[in-house]
Amino acid sequence: MGTKKQHGNSSKILKLILFIPTVLSLIGNLFALMQSEVSLMRRKIIMLVMLSVFSFVLMTTAWICINWLLFTWMVHLYMSSITATILLLAFNLLLFVITCLLIALLNIDPSFPETRKAINNILSK
């Protein structure tokens, strides 16, 4: 009877000894996953900023040309230059408000979904 109890205790101790490296390995894998997601997010943010600046420059030049064409067209229709300027200003402000609303609705999720899945998988085991 005593040998069975010792054998049971030794297997529990062996399982515990083998469990510790497994947990440390899982923690190391989790940190590696988090680090790779952070570097991927960093690259995405840098690319987003670069593309945003490029788009901003292109859209600004195009918008200046469009505004100039509208202004000359309105003046050509015998509007006063002040009336044409006020109409363009109102149109530009309307588009600015619409753009701000669209930016407010933009949803960027920096919650690291792959890391959350890994943590949930570890906790569910």
pLDDT one-digit tens code per residue, 58-80: 999 999 999 999 999 999 998 89
- How far apart are alpha carbons 76 and 85 in whole angstroms? 13
- How far apart are alpha carbons 20 and 33 in whole angstroms? 20
67 contacts: CB under 8 Å, gap ≥ 6: 88, 92
The SS3 call for residue 83 is helix
Q: Which residue has the tokens 């064409």?
A: 69
Q: How many structural domains are present in the chain?
A: 1
Range of the domain at 51: 2-124
Would the pLDDT of 15 be above 80? no
Q: What is the pTM of this model?
A: 0.46
pLDDT at 2: 47
